[in-house]
Amino acid sequence: MNTQSITQYYRKHWKAIVTATSGLLYGGGWSLGYLTGFDTTGAAILVLATIVGGYDIAKTAYHEVTNRTLGIKTLVTLAAIGAIVIGEYWEAAAVVFLFSLGSYLEGRTMRKTRTALQELLEMTPDTATVRRDGELQEIPAREVEEGEVVVVKPGGKIPVDGDVVDGESAVNQAPVTGESAPVHKADGDEVYAGTVNQEGALEIRTTGAGSDTTLERIIRRVEEAQEAQSPTESLIDRFARYYTPGVIALAIGAYAITQNAILSLTLLVIGCPGALVIGPPVSIVSAIGNAARSGVLMKGGEHLERAGKIDLVAFDKTGTLTKGESTVADVEGFGVADDEVLSLAATAEKKSEHHLADAIVDTARERPTAATDGGATIAQADDTDASLQSIPDPDDFDVVAGKGVIAHTDGHEVVVGNRALLDDRDIDVPSRIADYVREHEKRGETVVHVIRDGDIIGAIALRDELREAAPGVVAALQDAGIETVMLTGDNERTAAAVAEEVGIDDYRAELLPEDKQSTIEELQTDGHVVAMVGDGINDAPSLATADVGIAMGAAGTDTAIETADMALMADDLERIPYAVKLSKATRWNVLENVGLAVLTVTVLLAGVLTSYVTLAAGMLVHEASVLAVILNGMRLLRY
Amino acid sequence: MSDTTQFRVMDFDCPTCASTVERALSNVDGVQHVEVHYATGRIEIEYDDGVAEPDTFAQTIENQGYTPQPA
């Protein structure tokens, strides 16, 4: 080992070296004093131990004083000097050694909490292979420009955010979304920096590089969240501001009255409410870090503490409990052919962006093609699949929000909509049709009526499959003592059928978008702490109203990441029980830490004032309590 | 012109240590705003780049007894 590497080694480990040296000297001095009587040599070694261990503490204390902050290092320095002045060398060395050891261990454990996120950042590769001027070049990943095509080999890490333009592969997105199963990616699919390309080569058109990637944004948000003070933390900080000066005043007062120097110095040692100040941030940082690694973004301690009190979770139905992809389950013509009903409805719905409209139009397109219009098929542009039927445009088209559409085509008025739209237009529903509708709604399907020139000519039943995970998620929340409610715009019967299928406690049906928000308010007025789970865009108002808004599938949508109190990066419902339980565990963890800290301070104060606890013992208990709360908080990293 | 730089300190061992560093950094000439976070160890400094140098900040942090790393 040359001089330079020794210096480097020392710089890296100086806290450990200083602590160990002071510990050895302390042990040596104490043994010497114990074995040979308390002679001058023993005392000298103990003073040396104090100086070795205390030099850095005193240096920082000096800075604390010149910067006019009152920290524990100032208090420890005063106590150690005081102890030497009154001849309590053993106490002085012990206090300094225990403090060094304690803060060394604290620094080490805190580092683990602080580096939990760094591992995520290291997921992004430093270089990227880009196609420039027709050839492949390896350049720093940060210098890839938007629109450039990056080539990623099988097994390679994806260096940028972008869209796949060539190739097909399975990509492990765990660093971003927390999903352990790889996701299939092909032309047009979005991929994220830091994820791993597992199978085939991919060419990716860059949409973001460097600090402008989803992963970087997540990490920034997580850090901001960890740094934001929770209500408990601010309360404790305010308390700490008075506690330390208070204890010093007490130390001076106690000395003035009792002339007991040891008592006053011991008060100084315990004058920093260490465990109390350190506990809550460690719990919260660990919890937020753990959540981030599982693909759950939490907005900060305040939200986490509130989430710990959730007793009711409201789910939006479509796209949250269900897959959000409706398919046509059945078409029924009343006096006309089924096919005619479907094609008429498709024409009317062609310009609509509603998810039910998409399902109807797609189904109409995929019908077996009548073999008569071959000429037209050949003439079509090559991006249209020849096996698909073409749907004519309507002459005009109007949306009635929450009810349906009204269109004109071929000289007919075509209305496609729900019961409310029929009522609006005073259209009578024959009992045969009403029976059909009732029967399908009881199966959890949504039925739309098709009306031509004022007569009902048919009905279409649509089905939105439940997510496989939904019943399990609802059951897991119920097991945790949390009520579950489903909110939906569907009619009563469909809602009841879906609610039963998923096993949810309660449901609210026939809600317009703004009704969802007022439903949340009602639940809150009933005394519930409400979490709302939705998609983060359409449900944004109700997510904002809820005590805790949980957005699903947030990886691609920055607004959801910015606004939701919790954002599930993956479209994975199963993270919800985890997130809710983690919040509850965090709330308990914070309470445990505060409880332990208050207990420690009370016992120490009582012990000191009754002279049962002196310098070294006080320091030992103080440091032990700090380590205990850090270790307790860190349990949340592995929750 | 105003500029921002970041450091990371992994060895803060108590919240007061973070406030001490925060005070020390805000006393450096040309520093306009400092945030030191105990929980994450992140330090963010906003400064006038005509007056102050990031190297000075690293030195200041080191003087307080902590190890700055680039963030």
Query: In this complex, do B64 and A60 lie within 8 Å of one another by their Cβ atoms?
Result: yes
User: If pLDDT is split at 50, 70 and 90, which confidence band does A524 have?
Assistant: very high
**Averaged pLDDT for residues B54-65:** 86
How much is the average pLDDT of A11-33? 81
Residue whose entry in the numeric block shows the structure tokens 């979770």: A313
Question: What average pLDDT does range A20-33 have in this prediction?
Answer: 82
Out of A60, A67, A113, whose CB is closest to B65? A60
- Which whole number is the average pLDDT over A480-489? 92
Structure confidence at residue A371 (pLDDT): 40
Which of chain A's residues have a Cβ under 8 Å away from the Cβ of B15? 277-278, 281
Q: Do A70 and B39 touch (CB under 8 A)?
A: no
Please name which of A25, A56, A57, A58 lies closest in space to residue A43, comparing C-alpha atoms. Answer: A25
Mean pLDDT, residues A77-82: 90
Write the pLDDT tens digit of every residue in A380-414.
444 445 556 777 788 888 887 778 888 888 888 88
pLDDT of residue A370: 47
Using an 8 Å CB-CB cutoff, list residues of chain B that contact chain A: 8, 10-17, 19-20, 23-24, 27, 35, 37-42, 63-65, 67
Nearest to B40 among A15, A73, A227 (CB): A227
List, in sequence order, every residue forming a beta bridge with A59; answer none if it has no partner: none
Shortest CA gap A51–chain B (Å)? 16
Q: Read off the pLDDT of residues A411-469 as tens digits, 9 standing for 90 and up.
A: 888 888 888 888 888 888 888 888 888 888 988 888 888 888 878 888 888 888 888 89
**Model pLDDT for residues A119-132, shown as the tens digit of each residue:** 776 777 888 999 88
| Of A59, A68, A69, Cβ closest to residue B65 | A59
Q: What is the mean pLDDT of residues B31-51?
A: 89
Non-local CB neighbours of B59 within 8 Å, separated by 6+ positions: none
CATH class, range A125-212: mainly beta
Instruction: Indicate the residue of B12, B24, B65 with minimum beta-carbon distance to A110.
Output: B12
Q: Quick one: closest CA in B to A71, which residue?
A: B16
**Chain A, chain B: beta-carbon pairs less than 8 Å apart:** 83
pLDDT for residue A387: 59
Check if the beta carbon of residue A158 is closer than 8 Å to that of residue A201.
Answer: no
Please choose, from the candidates A404, A206, A228, the residue with its C-alpha nearest in 3D space to the C-alpha of residue A302. A228
Catalogue all structural domains in chain B, each as residue range(s) with its CATH number: 2-70 (3.30.70.100)
* Whole-number pLDDT of residue A383: 44
The fold of the A310-321+467-576 domain, in CATH, is Rossmann fold (3.40.50)
Rounded to whole angstroms, how far apart are CA atoms A395 and A405? 13
pLDDT for A285-315, tens place per residue? 899 988 988 888 888 888 888 899 999 999 9
- Å between B40 CA and nearest CA of chain A: 5
A277 min Cα distance to partner chain B (Å): 7
Percent of chain A scoring above 70 in pLDDT: 94
Q: Which of A114-123, A176-185, A552-561 has the highest mean pLDDT?
A: A176-185
Distance (Å) from the alpha carbon of B17 to chain A's nearest alpha carbon: 7
Q: Does A73 touch chain B (CB under 8 A)?
A: yes
Of A8 and A28, the one with more pLDDT? A28
What residues of chain A lie within 8 A of the CB of B31, using their CB? none
Residue of B nearest to A301 (CA): B39
pLDDT band at A531; cut points 50, 70, 90: very high
Q: Which residue of B has its CA nearest to A113?
A: B40
Query: A302 vs A222, A289, A476, A542, A590, CA distance in Å?
Result: 13, 15, 25, 19, 12
Tokens of A180: 């352990």
Across the range A74-101, mean pLDDT stands at 89
- Average model confidence (pLDDT) across chain A: 84
End-to-end CA distance of chain B: 21
Query: Which of B8, B17, B35, B40 would you mutate first to test chain A, the one with the most A CBs within 10 A?
Result: B40
Residues of A in contact with B37 (CB under 8 A): 223, 226-227
Q: In whole angstroms, what is the distance from residue A487 CA to residue A475 CA?
A: 17
Active site residue A396: no
Predicted pLDDT of residue A179: 76
Instruction: Report d(CA A28, CA A45) in Å as an integer.
Output: 7
Per-position DSSP letters for A3-65, written without gaps between them: HHHHHHHHHHHHHHHHHHHHHHHHHHHHHHHHHH-S-HHHHHHHHHHHHHHHHHHHHHHHHHH
How distant is the Cα of A163 from the closest Cα of chain B, in angstroms? 29
* Helix (H) or strand (E) segment spanning residue B70: strand B68-70
Q: What is the pLDDT of residues A533-592, one digit of tens each?
A: 987 677 788 888 999 999 887 766 666 677 788 888 888 888 999 999 999 999 999 999
* Strand positions, DSSP E, A541-619: 548-551, 566-568
Name the pLDDT band for A375 (thresholds 50, 70, 90): very low
Catalytic residue among A161, A316, A535, A572: A316
C-alpha–C-alpha distance, residues A353 and A411, integer Å = 24
Select A323-370+387-465's CATH number: 3.30.70.260, 3.30.300.210, 3.10.20.740, 3.40.1110.10.
3.40.1110.10
- Provide mean pLDDT across the span A520-532: 94
Please check the confidence at residue B11 and state whether its pLDDT lies above 90. Answer: no
Give the sheet arrangement for strand A322-333, strand by strand: A322-333, A455-466, A446-452, A412-417, A404-409, A396-400
pLDDT band at A378 (very low <50, low <70, confident <90, very high): very low
